[in-house]
Chain A
Amino acid sequence: MDKKIEILFPEFCNLYGDISNMKYLHKCIPKANFIETNFNDEPAFVTQKVDLIYMGPMTEKTQEKVIEKLKPYKQRIEQLIEENTVFLITGNAGEIFGKYIENEDGSKIEALGIFETYAKRNMMHRHNSNFIGKYEEIEIVGFKSQFTLGYGDNQKNYFAEVEKGIGLNEQSKLEGIKKNNFISTYVIGPILILNPEFTKKILEKIGIEEPKLALEEDLKNAYVQRLKELKSL
Chain B
Amino acid sequence: MKKNLKFYIVLYLAKLSRIALKLIGRDATYFPGKLAVTLCPDFLGRIDKPKTIIGVTGTNGKTTVCNMIEDVLKENGYEFIDNHLGSNINSGLATALIEGATLLGKQKKELAVFEIDERSSVKIYPYITPTYLVCTNLFRDSLKRNAHTEFISSILSNNIPSQTTLILNGDDLIVSNLSPNNNRIYFGIDRLKTDTDKCENIVRDITVCPKCDSKLEYDFVRYNHIGRAHCIKCNFQSPKINYEVTNIDFEKMQMTIKSKSEEKYDLINNNIINIYNMLATITVLKELGLNQEQINPILKKQKIVDTRYSKEKEGNIEIITQLAKGMNPIACSRAFDYVRKEEGNKAVFILLDDLHEAANSSENIAWHYDTDYEFLNSESIKQILTGGARYLDTYVRLQIAQIPKEKIVHQREETTLVDKLNLKGIDKIFILHDLYSIDLKNQLKKKVKDKILEQNKQTEN
Contact = CB atoms under 8 A, between A and B. Distances in A.
Nearest to B367: A17
Given A59-B148, A124-B122, A233-B361, A18 B366 contact: yes
Interface stretch (A43-51, A78-86, A201-209, A223-231): A223-231
B370 interface: yes
Contacts of B368: 17, 190
A232 B245 CA distance: 53
A119 B251 CA distance: 57
Nearest to A143: B364
Interface residues on B, range: 20 to 34
Interface in B163-207: 202-203, 207
B218 to A, nearest CB: 13
Given A11-B208, A61-B150, A145-B143, A27 B400 contact: yes
Interface string A11-29: 1101111111001100100
Given A17-B370, A219-B396, A226-B362, A128 B144 contact: yes
A59 B151 contact: yes
Contacts of A128: 144, 364
A93 interface: no
Contact of B392 (A40, A123, A221): A221
A94 B213 CA distance: 23
A229 B353 CA distance: 15
A189 B369 contact: yes
A139 to B, nearest CB: 14
A145 B208 contact: no
Contacts of A218: 392, 395-396, 399
A65 to B, nearest CB: 8
Interface string A161-174: 00000000000000
A16 B368 CA distance: 9
B396 A145 contact: no
B288 interface: no
Interface string B369-382: 11000000000000
A141 B143 CA distance: 18
A17 B396 contact: no
Contact of B150 (A14, A18, A59): A59
Nearest to B149: A59
Given A24-B400, A189-B364, A60 B393 contact: no
Contacts of A16: 143, 366-367, 370
B392 A225 contact: yes
B400 A145 contact: no
A12 B150 CA distance: 11
A65 B393 CA distance: 34
A75 B412 CA distance: 51
Contact of B395 (A123, A190, A222, A233): A222
Contacts of B400: 20, 23-24, 27, 193, 215
A17 B369 contact: yes
A27 B401 CA distance: 11
Contacts of B395: 218, 222
A15 B361 contact: no
B50 to A, nearest CB: 29
Contacts of A20: 369, 400
B362 A60 contact: no
A188 interface: yes
Interface string A94-136: 0000000000000000000000000000011010101000000
Contact of A126 (B147, B202, B366, B370): B147
Nearest to A231: B362
B414 to A, nearest CB: 16
Contacts of B122: 124
A11 B399 CA distance: 24
A34 interface: no
B145 A126 contact: yes
Interface in B239-261: none
A128 B360 CA distance: 14
A147 interface: yes
Contacts of B145: 126
A145 B147 contact: yes
Interface of B: 122, 143-145, 147-148, 150-151, 202-203, 207-208, 213, 215, 361-362, 364-370, 392-393, 395-396, 399-400
Given A59-B150, A226-B393, 7 more contacts: A14-B203, A17-B367, A17-B368, A130-B364, A190-B365, A193-B400, A233-B361
The 4 nearest A-B residue pairs measured at CB: A17-B369, A189-B366, A20-B369, A222-B392
8 contacts: A16-B367, A17-B368, A17-B369, A19-B369, A147-B147, A190-B365, A193-B396, A225-B392
